[in-house]
Homo-oligomer: A and B are copies of this chain.
Amino acid sequence: MRIERTMARVSVSGGLWQKLIAVQIYGANTGVGKTVFSTLLGAHFGARSSPTKWTVRYIKPVSTGPADEADDDYVRRYSGSPVSTLFKFNDAVSPHVAARGASHVPSDDHLNQELAKCLQQGAGSLPLEQADMGLAIVETAGGVLSPGPSGTPQADIFRALRLPAVLVGDHRLGGIAATISAAESLAIRGYDIDAVVCFENQSRYENAVYLKQYFEERSISTFDIPWIPDLDGLIPGTREEEAVMRQYYDARSREKHVSEVARCIIDRHATRMGNLESMASRTKQAIWHPFTQHKHVTNAEDVLVFDSAYGDYFQVKETSSSKHSDSALFPALDGSASWWTQGYGHGNPQLSLAAAYAAGRYGHVMFAGAIHQPALELAETMLKRLDNPRLNKVFYTDNGSTATEVGIKMALRAACKHYDWDGSNEEVGVLGLKASYHGDTIGAMDASEPCVFNEKVDWYRGRGFWFDYPTYKMVKGRWVVEPPEGMEEDLGPVKHFDSQDEIFNLDARSPSLRYETYIVQTLDKLVKERGAKFGALIMEPIVLGAGGMIFVDPLFQQSLLRVVRRYDFGPAQGAKSTLKGNEDAWSGIPVVFDEVFTGLYRLGRFSSGSFLGVHPDISVHAKLLTGGLLPLSITTASDSIFQAFWGDEKSEALLHGHSYTAHAVGCQVANVSLEIAKKMQKSEEWSTFRKQWEMRHRVHVKDGCTGGREEKGLWSMWSQDFVIEVSKHRRVAHVNALGSVLAVSLVDSAGCGYNSSASVGLRDALLKLTSEDQIRIHSRILGNVIYLMASMTAKPTHLKAVEETFVSRLKEVL
C-alpha cells in the first residue's frame, strides 16, 4: 500500500455555502439504513419545487466492493439524483483493508480536498435564481469512526469541512448504546448534529422512542422514519421488488417524517447562516475586546467571525466575496498560534478526549491539602524535563500573569527574609530588561518598566530597574549582535557571526568582561550610591515577546545572571542558614525565568532557559503547557525558595491560591500535550526542520547547555533560506527565527512605534484573498514587527507554502 505523502498546500474552506446545503450522513453502525435514508432524503428534495427548486447531488467519498456500486445505482434510480463516487475499491471490506491491494491510495488531505472540490463545483454549478438551492448528500461508509483508505477514522479525515451531520440511529438490539456513542464521537470532534433519524421497525426494542427523548433533552432533533418494506419472498432485481421499493420511496419521501427532517436541515442551515451574519454586529454590542481600542474598530466587519478551527487553520466568515456560490467561510492560517498558545492543532481529538476524560473522572477537585493523578504527574514530568537540579517544587496557578506574580512573591519573600527587609514598608524592586513584559495583573505589570501597556493603568507603579542590552538578529543575510543606539561604549560595537549557533556558543564567548563590568557598574550606582533594594532578577530567556519580539544576546543574559548571583545586595540579616551548605541555594538575589512564551518547545527546546546554560531559582510556565487548549500555569521553585515560607505562622506561608488551582482538565490535557511533544522531538518533521539549518554550516554549539542533550544545534521551523531571503528585502530591517517563531522587523518611515503602517499593510495583505492556490494568513503585529508562529505539529511542506506566500506578499506590498 502506498499512501500519498503530499501535504495540502492550502487547507480547504469550511463546508458552508449560501445556496448549497451539504450534509453528511453518518451511520451509528453499518446496516442501519444510511443508504435508504439518503435515498429518501434525495427523493424528497428532488420532488420539492415550490417555492424553492432543489438541485440534489449525492456524493460518496469512498466506496468499496461491488455492493457499493449497486448502492450508487440504487440511489440514482430511486432518488433520481446524480451520484458521484470519489474513490472506489473493489474489495468489499473496510476501505483501509481494501486500499491495501490498490496501486494508489489517496492521502487524507487529498480525499478531503477532492470532496471539498466536488462540493464547491456543486455550489458553482447551481442556477443563480434567488429561490434555487442545492443539496449535497455526502454518504459516509460504515460507522462514524470507520477507517478511511489511510486508516484514519473518516470523521477525522473530513473534519476540516465540518459538514453538519445527520446520524442514522441503529434500530437493532444494542442500537441505543451504539447511537449515543456514535453521537458522542461526533461531538468530541466538534461536529454539529443537525438531526438523528431512526428507522421505526415496530420492534420491541423501541430504540426510536428512547433516542428521541434522550437527544431532545440535549437539544438534538430526532425523527423516526417508517420502516423499509419487507422484501422477503421477492426476487432481488425483479420488477416486483422495484415496484415495492419505488412505491415506498415515492410515498414515504412525501410524508411528514421525511419532510420534517428536511425542514430541520433547511432551518439549521438558515440559522447557521443568519447567526454568522449577525455575529459581528452583536459582538460590537456585547463584547469588550482585550487589548483593543474600540474607537479604531470602525466596521462590524473588522471583527473576525470564527465558525471553527482545525489543525493550523481558523475557519473565518467570508466578508470579501459576494458570489453565492463561494464558500461562506475561508481558512486562515493561525499565524499568531492564537496568541502564542497553540501547539498541537485546533480541534485535536486527543486533547479533546483528554479534557473529557478528566472532566468525567474528577470535574474540578479542590487542591488545598489534596492531590490527584493528573496534577502530580504533570508536576513530576515538568520537574524532570526541565532538568534543572535546583527546581523541585511546583506551584499551580491559572495563567502566565498570575504565575509570574507568584514567582515574584516567592523571590521577594526569600530576599526580604534573607536581608531582613520590610517589603511592606520599603520599596524592594526587581531587576529586569527593558521592554520585558510579564502579564496584565498589577503585580506582573509592576515588574516591567513604564511603556504603552501600563501608561494609563492607574495603579501601575514600575518597581525596579531595567537594563539596556545588546540584541541579535539577521541583517541582510548576516547574523549580528548589536548594542542599543549610543551604548557602544558600554556594550561594545556591532559584531558579526557566521551563524546563530555561533552566537549561542557561550562556552566560547563567556565570560564577557565588558558586559559584566557594565552590569556591576550599573548595580553599584543603584545599590551602593542610591541605596536601592532589589529582591529578584526576572527575565524572559532569549526572546522578549510582547515587548516586540526582541532577541537578546544570550551572552548578556548569562552575564547578568552571573553578576547578580555574586553581587552583594545588602548585608544579610535574616535566616541565612537556609542558604548555607546547599550548593543549589540562591545567592545575591533569586533569579526568575519567565518562560511563559519561550518555553515548552516554542524556541525548539523544552526549556528556553537551557540556552543560557544556567539554572534559575524559579521558573514560570504557561501558554503551550496545555498544548494551546486551556489556561493553566505553573511556577517551579528551588528548595531554598520554598524554605523562605516555612514557619510556625500561617501568615508566613505563600497565601496564594486560585479556586481552580491545578484543575484536573488542564493538567490532563497538559500531560497528553507533553507526550505528543516528546514524540514530535523525534519526528521526521522536526528532523527535516533541523536539517534545513544544519546544511549551511557545520559550527555546532558544544553541549554546554542543560536539558538539551538531543538538541545540539539551533534550528527553526522556518527555513534558513527563507530567513535569508526575507532579510535581504529592502524594507526589512532584520529577521529572527528560532523554533517556531519568525519575527520580521520592517523599516518604516513613521518610526518603530505602534503606528507602523508597513506592518499593518503587510498584515492586512496576508489575510486577503488573491489567488486560489495561495494561503491566507492571519498574523499579528507588534509595532513595526510582524511575526509568524507555527504549531509544534506543522509540516515542512506546509510551512514551505506559507513561506512562499509570505515572500510574495512582502514583495507586492512593500
- Give CA–CA (A302, B362) in the complex, Å: 20
Decide: A356 near B142, CB < 8 A? Known: A293-B647, A364-B342. Answer: no
Interchain CA distance A290-B369 in the complex, whole Å: 8
Pick the contact of A459: B351, B363, B409, B661 (CB < 8 A).
Answer: B409
Closest B residue to A778 by beta carbon equals B366
Contact between chains at B637 and A288 (CB < 8 Å): yes
Chain B residues with Cβ below 8 Å from A654 are: 288, 290-292
Report yes or no: A143 in contact with B174, Cβ–Cβ below 8 A: yes
Q: Which residue of the partner chain B has the closest CB to A140?
A: B177
A359 to B27, CA, bound (A): 23
Judge whether A435 is part of the interface by a CB distance below 8 angstroms: no
- The reply to whether A352 and B347 form a contact with Cβ atoms under 8 Å apart is no
Partner of A363, one of B91, B339, B348, B412: B348
| Distance (whole angstroms) from the CB of A140 to the closest CB of chain B | 10
Partner of A360, one of B188, B359, B659, B663: B188
Which B residues are CB-close (under 8 A) to A527?
Answer: none
Indicate if the CB atoms of A290 and B144 lie closer than 8 Å.
no
Q: A295-B648, A395-B288 are in contact. Are A346 and B365 (CB under 8 A)?
A: yes
Most buried by B among A147, A338, A396, A649: A338
A contacts with B: majority SS: mixed
**Residue interface bits A660-678, CB-to-B below 8 A is 1, else 0:** 1101011000000000000
Given contacts A153-B180, A452-B650, contact A364 B347 (CB under 8 A): no
B456 touches A660 (CB 8 A): no
Chain B residues within 8 Å of A153, by CB: 177, 180
Is A367 on the interface with B (CB-CB < 8 A)? yes
CB pair A29–B338 under 8 Å, yes or no, is: no
Residue A398, interface by CB 8 Å: yes
Copies in the complex: 2
- For residue A362, which residues in chain B have a CB less than 8 angstroms away from its CB? 190, 306, 308-309, 346-347
A660 contacts B630, CB within 8 Å?
Answer: yes
Q: Known contacts being A308-B361, A405-B441, is A656 close to B291, with CB within 8 Å? A: yes
- List residues of A (237-280) whose CB comes within 8 Å of B's CBs: 275, 279-280
A622 partner residues in chain B, CB cutoff 8 A: 659
* Interface residue count on the A side (C-beta < 8 Å): 172
Does A340 touch B at the CB level, under 8 Å?
Answer: yes
Which residue in chain B gives the minimum CB-CB distance to A162? Answer: B361
Q: Is A683 an interface residue (CB 8 A)?
A: no
Residue of chain B at shortest CB distance from A353: B187
Within the complex, the shortest CB–CB distance from A5 to chain B, in Å, comes to 19
Instruction: Give the distance to chain B from A334, nearest Cβ to Cβ, in Å.
Output: 7
Question: Closest B-chain residue to A624, C-beta based?
Answer: B659
**Interface contact B287-A379, CB-CB below 8 Å:** yes
14 other contacts beyond A346-B364, A398-B399, A413-B458, with CB at 8 A cut-off? A29-B177, A91-B204, A145-B181, A184-B184, A289-B657, A293-B650, A309-B361, A309-B362, A336-B366, A347-B362, A366-B780, A412-B458, A442-B443, A630-B630
4 closest A-B pairs (Cβ-Cβ)? A290-B657, A423-B458, A143-B177, A190-B361
29 A-B contacts (beta carbon < 8 Å): A29-B177, A146-B174, A147-B210, A153-B180, A184-B185, A187-B357, A187-B360, A190-B358, A286-B394, A288-B642, A289-B367, A290-B658, A292-B368, A294-B642, A294-B645, A305-B370, A306-B362, A346-B365, A348-B359, A364-B629, A366-B780, A398-B398, A398-B402, A424-B455, A440-B658, A441-B442, A442-B446, A629-B663, A650-B754
